Each structure stands twice: as C-alpha cells, then as structure tokens.
Chains A and B, each alone.
Chain A
Amino acid sequence: DGGITQSPKYLFRKEGQNVTLSCEQNLNHDAMYWYRQDPGQGLRLIYYSQIVNDFQKGDIAEGYSVSREKKESFPLTVTSAQKNPTAFYLCASSMGQRNEQFFGPGTRLTVL
C-alpha cells in the first residue's frame, strides 16, 4: 500500500537534546512538507522541499533543521534551540505544487 509513514508515534526527550523525526513516503511524490500542530492554532509550516537536495523555510523554521537526500525521505530535527518543542508534528507530501497534500499519521513529541 502506498502512503506516508512517520515514526515514532510518541517521542519523549529531555530538554536540551536534539531529536530527529522520521518521514518516509512511497507515493513517488516530489514535494514534502513538515507542519507543527498546537491546540487552537491549526497547522503551521516548518519546512518544505519541492525536489531532492533542496528545501525552503516555512513560517516557523527557527530551531528546526531538515534534509532531503532521497526522494522518499524528509527527516526533521528538532534542535535544542527550539524554545517550545512539545507539539504534534505532521509530515505531508504531494505530487507537485498544484496537487493536494497527503498526510502521515503524525508524531507527538513531548519534551520533559
């Protein structure tokens, strides 16, 4: 089955530690996106990538980093510079810039 997988589903980290969230898709989509979801604020774009080896900052990129070495994979690193990292993180992909986005199941990160 084609789809987007995110792992792990739940993640706990101590304050000050970097953590990497995984996102893999087998839909052969060119574009991939990372969103952060907080209660009552909808989804906010962190980073996006339209092609391998290229990515752009979204609206709230500070304290995050990404890489896009393979078409299928778009990992997100939450660094210690992110002041409030506890949130639900969603990865998405799309065939191109004019197509709807498909979402993964999400990773809930809690920083203790």
Chain B
Amino acid sequence: AQSVTQLDSQVPVFEEAPVELRCNYSSSVSVYLFWYVQYPNQGLQLLLKYLSGSTLVESINGFEAEFNKSQTSFHLRKPSVHISDTAEYFCAVSDLGNTGKLIFGQGTTLQVKP
C-alpha cells in the first residue's frame, strides 16, 4: 500500500525568506507525484507534478520540487516567499496502475509573516 507523509503540519516563515515543505512517500511501485495548494474555503489547485523525465519540476509562481527516488521524497521549495503564498499545501502520490487514485498527505500550512 502507498502512503504519504508530510513531516511538518505548520511552517511559519517571514516574507522573502526561503522555504521547504517536506514530503516523503512509501510505495512498492513507480509513482506519479503531485503538489496541490489550497486557499481557505476553496478547492485544491495543482501546483506542480512529476510524471517522468527530469527530476526537478517547476511551477509558474516560483515553486519547485525535486523527485528523489532513493530517499522517496518530493520536497517543495521556494527561494523567496510572499504573503500571498500563505495556504495549505498537499503532497499526493498516484501509482502507475489502473485506478488514478491519489493518496494525500496530511497537509502543511505555510504561514508567511510580514
């Protein structure tokens, strides 16, 4: 069975500081990996994804994540955060099988302070 662990439930950081949100997964098969962002009382929006190819993937708003197969990790990073990045972030894994189901981590709340 697959599982996803987000190691930090809350990450407070000052504006313009760098941030890393950690995600580790467990799976016996190859996987797809995703990061979603959720603003208060809204649905989830896809931030970035790893399907294959380059292990470093980037989003349009400055976030990046690196797939590390040996460490089974997919940590999310941003070199300089903005107030508007305050949200909850979810890491998710999907196997390459036939269901398309996503397994989500518990979420990490990023709190950007002025």
Residues of A near any B CB (own CB < 8 A): 4, 6, 31, 33, 35, 40-45, 48, 50, 56, 58, 90, 92, 94, 96-106, 108
Q: Is B100 touching A58 in the complex (CB atoms < 8 A)?
A: no
Q: Interface majority SS on A: helix, strand, loop or mixed?
A: strand
B99 touches A48 (CB 8 A): yes
B44→A103 contact, CB < 8 A: yes
Task: List 11 other contacts, CB 8 Å, given A58-B101, A101-B102.
Answer: A40-B9, A42-B104, A42-B106, A44-B104, A48-B99, A90-B44, A98-B51, A98-B100, A100-B49, A105-B43, A106-B41
The CA of A40 and the CA of B108, in the complex, are separated in Å by 9
Interface flags, B33-48, vs A, CB<8A=1, else 0: 0101000011111100
Q: How many chain B residues have a CB neighbour from A under 8 Å?
A: 25
Q: How many A-B residue pairs have CB under 8 A?
A: 62
Residues of chain B at the chain A interface (Cβ within 8 Å) = 9, 32, 34, 36, 41-46, 49, 51, 90, 94, 96-102, 104-107
B42 touches A106 (CB 8 A): yes
